Amino acid sequence: MATITNHMPTAELQALDAAHHLHPFSANNALGEEGTRVITRARGVWLNDSEGEEILDAMAGLWCVNIGYGRDELAEVAARQMRELPYYNTFFKTTHVPAIALAQKLAELAPGDLNHVFFAGGGSEANDTNIRMVRTYWQNKGQPEKTVIISRKNAYHGSTVASSALGGMAGMHAQSGLIPDVHHINQPNWWAEGGDMDPEEFGLARARELEEAILELGENRVAAFIAEPVQGAGGVIVAPDSYWPEIQRICDKYDILLIADEVICGFGRTGNWFGTQTMGIRPHIMTIAKGLSSGYAPIGGSIVCDEVAHVIGKDEFNHGYTYSGHPVAAAVALENLRILEEENILDHVRNVAAPYLKEKWEALTDHPLVGEAKIVGMMASIALTPNKASRAKFASEPGTIGYICRERCFANNLIMRHVGDRMIISPPLVITPAEIDEMFVRIRKSLDEAQAEIE
């Protein structure tokens, strides 16, 4: 069998890929004709493809490569750990140093009394853990009828059947259905759904939907509310300032667990270690993944407060993954956290990258296609519109103009995603001002070209 390498002609790699590889979130039959781009290597914020192009990755992969590509330290740690102990599990009264050290470090970094970690292979698995964990918590407290988890429409909590049901993506529900006892309220997306309300009034109204849902479903039935501090895959939807304090008040009043899905917002993305710190909320459970290892190894988990850990620990918790706390992934994650900490990457975000990005990002509203521009730390979105004043939607099928814009970015060697007709970025946290300048040259060129294409 011929060895497949980076040195093969692109067309041959594309043909083999089309013949055998099913891609996530893709219409695979069309991919063969459209052609996939073969990424061969990466450094810092830059990707290379098999045609020798240099691409600026304004998405940090899938929102995960927080420390940037090409850090040899992580490769060395992985190799060392593979030689010493490539695998062992943490079931049945065993443990190992990478899992101990990573759990201890996460307890130190997490706010409040979030002191306990249950590891998973990624964010979807961690949210499945959370479903079982909150239901077990209420069972062990003698309130087994508390099973309902309230989530939000357009939220993304993962791709397993349970985590996608927990999420609020209509297209995913259409393909695999819901699971019992999950309820969705509306998202705080003022631009698209705020009508005539001002943003703060709208934020309060959307938060109060949580209270209405609790009263409708029955206070004695609601176990938890789950949300991303900033909705990421839904289009970087930043709630109005009035939203989160009201959500916190309602969770406190009705004694329901608050789960913050920090898979995107965690590990510096919003300028703090966790997005809940940026939003000023106090979760009982945080879902983590992505930036935990900067994507260098697949790992996720749930960080849990003292009370929840104590209550679920009363009995056997019938749950666990072969790769929970995988020693190589845990060692890589620990090294990633060391780099984030010792290189003061959060200070770089707060004092250099995020303020500079914000100034330039908000200035994009001078472009005729751009309505609102939203940004928190190093995650940002723009809404494309044919009429800024009325916040109008395009007459075309939703997502058509966003897709055109994304394709222009791709052709200009810039990775930027579209969610419907919103364009989003989430670059590596280590991006420099000069690289931000280069990113904006490409963004503006792509927006101009998209506008010319639709005129």
CB of 202 to ligand PLP, least distance (A): 22
Q: Which is nearer to ligand PLP, 120 or 340 (CB)?
A: 120
Residue type, 140: N
Residue from 44, 158, 283, 301 touching ligand PLP (CB under 6 A): that is 158
Residue from 102, 207, 233, 330 touching ligand PLP (CB under 6 A): that is 233
Residue from 222, 256, 289, 431 touching ligand PLP (CB under 6 A): that is 289
Q: Which is nearer to ligand PLP, 288 or 447 (CB)?
A: 288
CB of 232 to ligand PLP, least distance (A): 5
Please report whether residue 234 would count as binding ligand PLP according to CB under 6 A: no
Residue from 119, 156, 202, 394 touching ligand PLP (CB under 6 A): that is 156
Residue from 128, 209, 246, 261 touching ligand PLP (CB under 6 A): that is 261
Q: Which is nearer to ligand PLP, 158 or 203 (CB)?
A: 158
Residue from 131, 185, 264, 376 touching ligand PLP (CB under 6 A): that is 264
**Residue list 34-73, contact with ligand PLP (CB under 6 A):** 62
Please report whether residue 295 would count as binding ligand PLP according to CB under 6 A: no
Segment interacting with ligand PLP, rule: CB under 6 A, options 38-46, 151-159, 209-217, 391-399: 151-159
Please report whether residue 128 would count as binding ligand PLP according to CB under 6 A: no
Please report whether residue 300 would count as binding ligand PLP according to CB under 6 A: yes
Residues in contact with ligand PLP, counted by CB under 6 A, come to a total of 16
Q: If we measure between CA atoms, which residue out of 81, 100, 166 comes closest to residue 127? A: 166
What residues have CB less than 8 Å from 62, skipping those under 6 apart? 290, 295
CB of 121 to ligand PLP, least distance (A): 8
CB of 325 to ligand PLP, least distance (A): 16
What is the contact mask toward ligand PLP in residues 84 to 123, using x (rule: CB under 6 A)? --------------------------------------xx
Is residue 90 a contact partner of residue 99, using CB atoms and an 8 Å limit? yes
Please report whether residue 124 would count as binding ligand PLP according to CB under 6 A: yes
**Residue list 213-232, contact with ligand PLP (CB under 6 A):** 228, 232
Q: Which is nearer to ligand PLP, 18 or 110 (CB)?
A: 110
Neighbours of 198 (CB within 10 A): 11
Q: Which is nearer to ligand PLP, 236 or 345 (CB)?
A: 236
Distance of alpha carbon 288 from alpha carbon 306, whole angstroms: 17
| Phi-psi domain of 296 (left: phi exceeds 0; alpha: psi -120 through 50; beta: other) | alpha
Binding site for ligand PLP (CB under 6 A): 62, 122-124, 127, 156-158, 228, 232-233, 261, 263-264, 289, 300
